[in-house]
Amino acid sequence: MNLIPYEYVIYRQGNERLDKLLQLDALEPKRSMLVVSEFIGYSPSLSGAICVNPWNVDSVAEAMN
């Protein structure tokens, strides 16, 4: 299983050391988005991710916009 999307989510949650290294305010909510293929097995477990059909260029462009 490809774990990169999960690693991204953990990274965005941050920790004290990472926030200090990146000079981020630990109390400020972090904002980001994750666009994943609807065909991957773990897309249902990433409830906040935007699931798209990667073969439909228009839907990918719309999701990224």
Question: For residue range 25-56, what is the model confidence (pLDDT) as tens digits?
Answer: 877 777 777 788 888 877 777 777 888 899 99
Q: What is the pLDDT of residue 24?
A: 79
Q: What is the mean pLDDT of the chain?
A: 79
Query: Does position 16 have pLDDT exceeding 70, yes or no?
Result: yes
Q: Could you state, in order of their start, the residue ranges of all structural domains in the chain? A: 4-64
Q: What is the pLDDT of residue 1?
A: 61
Residue 48 structure tokens: 């906040």
Yes or no: say if 38 and 53 are a contact pair by the CB < 8 Å rule: yes
- C-alpha span between 2 and 43 (Å, rounded): 11
Enter the pTM of the model.
0.56
- 58 confidence band (pLDDT: 50, 70, 90): very high
